[in-house]
Every structure is written in C-alpha cells, then in structure tokens.
Structure 1
Amino acid sequence: MDKNAPVSRLTSFPDGPLELKLQVFLPLSEAEKSLLADLQRTRVDCRPGVELMREGEPIAKVMIVTEGWAIRHRDLSDGRRQIINFVLPGDFVGVQSLLFAQSDHSVSALTKVKAAHFEPDRIIELFAQFPRLAAALSWCTTREESIIAERVASIGRRSAYERMAHLFLELLYRLRTVKSAPGKSFKLPVTQEVLADVLGLSIVHVNRTLRRLRQEGLIELDGGRIVIPDLAALEKTADFEKHFLHAGPPPRRVERQLEALENGAVLT
C-alpha cells in the first residue's frame, strides 16, 4: 500500500459495493450495516501499479476495494506473471491474515483504486458479534475460490476462444452485482498484456481471439467498454453456467441456523 497516499475519515457511509454484494447472499440489518460502515471509515487512494499486498510479506491490513480494479497475481523468478483473479469493487484483500503469517500472492492496483482498510483483529469481532456477517464473509471468500476453480478449468481445458468469452461473461455478472455494469456492457480497463496474463495466452493469441469474437458479432468494443449484444449466444460459445458465481441466498438449513443464533439459541 502507498504509505504516502491521502487518508480520509468518513462520517457516514451509504450502501456501497460491499453492501450490495453481501445482500445477494443475505439481507443486512441496520446493526450489520453500521459495523460495515465503521470498517470502511478509513480509506486510501492508490495509484495504478501500487501493491496493496505483497507476496511473502506480512499482511498489515484487511482492505475492501470500493472503486477501481486490482489484480491478484503470482510472479515467477524470471518475470513471468500469472494473474489469478481480478479484484473488483466490493472485494476483500488480506482476509487470510487471520490464518496466515504472510501473503502467498500479491495484489496490485490495475487502475486508480480507492480502498477502505482496517485491522485484521476487527474480523474476530465481526465473527463473535455478528454471525450472519461472518457467514456472508465466508461466502465471499468461498465464492472467490469457486471463481478461481472455474478459471483453472478454463486455462486447462477451454480453447482460447471459449476462455475469453467465459471471462467476459464472468466479469459482466460480477460487476452487475455491484451495479457497475449497466445493461449488457461494462468498462474493461485492461490491456491485451493483462488479458494474456489472466488467460494464459500470448499477446498475439489474445489479439487474434478478440478480433474473432468481434468479427462474429459476439462482442463489441466501444471506447474501452465491452458490449455483449447477445448474452445467450456468448454463453453458448463459452459453455457458461452461472452456478459457479453462487449469486443467491444460502441453503435453507444455514438460514435456520443463523436465525437460531440471532435468537440466542445454542447450536448442538
């Protein structure tokens, strides 16, 4: 994180990307929203390229991206990079600090990023006092694991054509959740080099695949935006199934257990 970046303190915080995202899983009470607002009071502005978290180093803060895009990545000793995932508004950085002494990957700002940050110990408070929020946080981290598993399947078994189409659909649906993708389009602030690093392709192959998707009318590029004219057609091309995004409420048994905890019951 940029130590010289300006920090501001907020006196109030309306529903932002994190709240929108969590309410896909569970409705939030006023007390839960108040805690989330408190966690997000202190913010930092990061320039493109700034590391929010560095592989091999202790994780000092948990961060919540509120604006902009970042990337999770692993860098090999010879400079090659694999982008593991995009970090979008509403996503966490550094939650693993509760369990790991140091980070196993890096997170870097891809665009200008605004992020809230707080001490890792606050998550212990959250787990102790707000079991529903604890469940929602667990959903966030488990959902990202599911997204990464799907990415591995793409890189291992899908063609370049299929994996690029699949990535665009994933980003569209993730951004829709936080109201950052109107209609069938979204801003894509990435270079072809970044696409190559996330898809495991060469830049030449990325260029060729983008051109084919455009020529076949499956995507349009409009001033840095990706437009998907026919979602069903692109989903068929990518063999895309939305279930890996888990954009819905928890199983009913989990809802019942959380309701019991809210009412003071002791689970056995």
Structure 2
Amino acid sequence: MVRKLEILTPMKEEDLSVLEQLEASTRKVPAGTELAVQGEPFGAVVVLRSGWAMRFKTLADGRRQITNFAIPGDVIGLYANMLVVADQSATTLTDVEIAEFPQEMMTDLFRDHPRLAAAFAWTAAREEAVLAEKVVCLGRRSAHERLSHLLLEMLRRLQMVQLTQGDRYVFPVTQELIADTLGLSAVHVNRTLSRLRAEGMIEVDGPVIHVKRVSELTDAADFDDLYLYSQRMPEGMRSRLAS
C-alpha cells in the first residue's frame, strides 16, 4: 500500500506508522475466497498485499460483469464505513495475502490524518476514472481495442507498484474472465488474442503477457494512462495539507 500511495505523495514517518497499523493484521487466503458480497454488509476493510482479486456485479440470472481487477496495494471496502451494504462482490483469483482492519479506523484516519485521507481519496477517484474508461470501452471500442486497452492498463498499473519485468507481467486471468470483463464471448477473446499475437503486438507464455510493441499497441487502442492518476499530488494541495 505504501508503494502505491507514494505515487501521489512522499510518505512521512507518521504516515508510514499509520499505514503499518492498518496492515498489522495479515493472513493468507486461497483462491476463490469471497472478500465482499454484493448486497451484504461489509466486514473489515481489506488491503491486498499479494496476489490478485476481482470485483464484479452479478445479475439475477447469474450473468456477471467484472468491473475491475485488484492487485497488490489495492483496497477493497475503502468506503465500507459509508455504505450499508456492498454494491459489488470481490473474490480472490489467486492465493493472496491480505491485511484487514475495522471500518472505524478509516473514519479515524479521515479525522486525524488528512494527508493520508487525501491519498485514499485519490485511490477512490482513480477507481471512478477506471470505471468511466471501462464504460467507454464497452460502449464504443472494438474487441481489438478493448483487449489491447485492458492489457496496457494492467501493464501500467503493475509498473506503478513495481510488479513487472520490463514490459512483461503475470496476468493470472482466464479467457472466460477476460470475456466477462470486456463484454465479449470467450471465443471472441480467443480470436482477438490470436490476432494480437499474429500482429506481433504481444507474446503469451502461460500466464505471462509480454507487450512487445507498446507504442503501436497504445496507438491501436487509443490508450492514454492519464485516467490512472500516476502524477504527484498538486503542489497547492500538498502545501495546504502541510499547513
């Protein structure tokens, strides 16, 4: 979580101490573990320390839309103290290590640690921007553009928390899950992956994705990582919080 929040602003000793308290209680859980259930009350706030999870909504007939993938540093239930029930579900995709803390600690953080509160608000703003970008993908982009955009987004997000090797990263997601993310059939995803490989844009080795021609794929997907909010906190905001 420190690695992620330091993208926004350097952490002071007091900030690091608070984050250490939030991540003090950790445990390992297997793949397929529910971290939040749509329509049910939130439990503790969860910080993903290792592994992957997914957030999704399910329709009455069982159809599923994956809204986002959670990677190390992401928080599930960030605003659990403000919501009566979870608006979407979250389930681990791999074996993970999580840290948990009571919802009330988030309320205390907003009251007592405004710099950290601003950093967490930034993560929420980024989640909103990611969802807005997904609406554009589902509504206006072709299958080729959707898949290219997703692969670039995950590359950029993982680079921000130092979990890539150059332009390679582990993507532990099946084609069926990609289909539920992009609003496509699994067959269509398979064909589009094959096309990207044939074009020399990517290389797939099991769960490892190598984006071989980042610049060309970026142009093809009309990808602009501005929505991932990878810039530092504006100086005006930093100075006001420090005063």
Quickly name the TM-score band, shorter chain normalised: over 0.9
Name the SS of the counterpart of 2:85 in structure 1: coil
1:124 equivalent to 2:107? Answer yes
1:254 equivalent to 2:233? Answer no
Aligned to 1:26: 9
The one-letter code of the counterpart of 1:142 is A
Aligned to 2:140: 157
For residues 108-257 of structure 1, what are the structure 2 equivalents within 5 Å? 108-257=91-240
Name the SS of the counterpart of 2:79 in structure 1: helix
Distance 2:96 2:58 in 1: 21
Aligned to 2:71: 88
Q: CA offsets, 1:205-241, max 9 Å, x none?
A: 0000000000000000123200011210110110011
The one-letter code of the counterpart of 2:50 is E
Aligned to 1:265: none
TM-score between both structures, scaled by the size of structure 1: 0.89
Aligned to 2:22: 39
For residues 5-16 of structure 1, what are the structure 2 equivalents within 5 Å? none
Distance 1:47 1:53 in 2: 15
Considering only aligned residues, what root-mean-square deviation do their CA atoms show, in Å?
A: 0.9
Between structure 1 and structure 2, the one with the greater Rg is: 1
Query: Would you identify which runs of 4 or more consecutive aligned residues in structure 1 move more than 4 Å?
Result: none
Gaps of 5+ in 2: none
The one-letter code of the counterpart of 2:145 is E
Distance 1:213 1:20 in 2: 32
Aligned to 1:263: none
Distance 1:101 1:226 in 2: 39
The one-letter code of the counterpart of 2:241 is L
Distance 1:254 1:30 in 2: 19
Stretch of structure 1 that moved more, 147-156 or 245-254: 245-254
Q: CA offsets, 1:67-87, max 9 Å, x none?
A: 011000001111110000001
Distance 1:223 1:159 in 2: 25
Distance 1:94 1:244 in 2: 21
Distance 1:103 1:49 in 2: 18
Count of residue correspondences = 243
1:100 equivalent to 2:83? Answer yes
Q: CA shift at 1:58, angstroms?
A: 0.8
The one-letter code of the counterpart of 1:185 is R
Q: CA offsets, 1:89-130, max 9 Å, x none?
A: 100001121211111110001111111000011012211221
Aligned to 1:13: none
Gaps of 5+ in 1: 1-17, 261-268
Distance 1:175 1:215 in 2: 25
Distance 2:166 2:75 in 1: 25
TM-score between both structures, scaled by the size of structure 2: 0.98
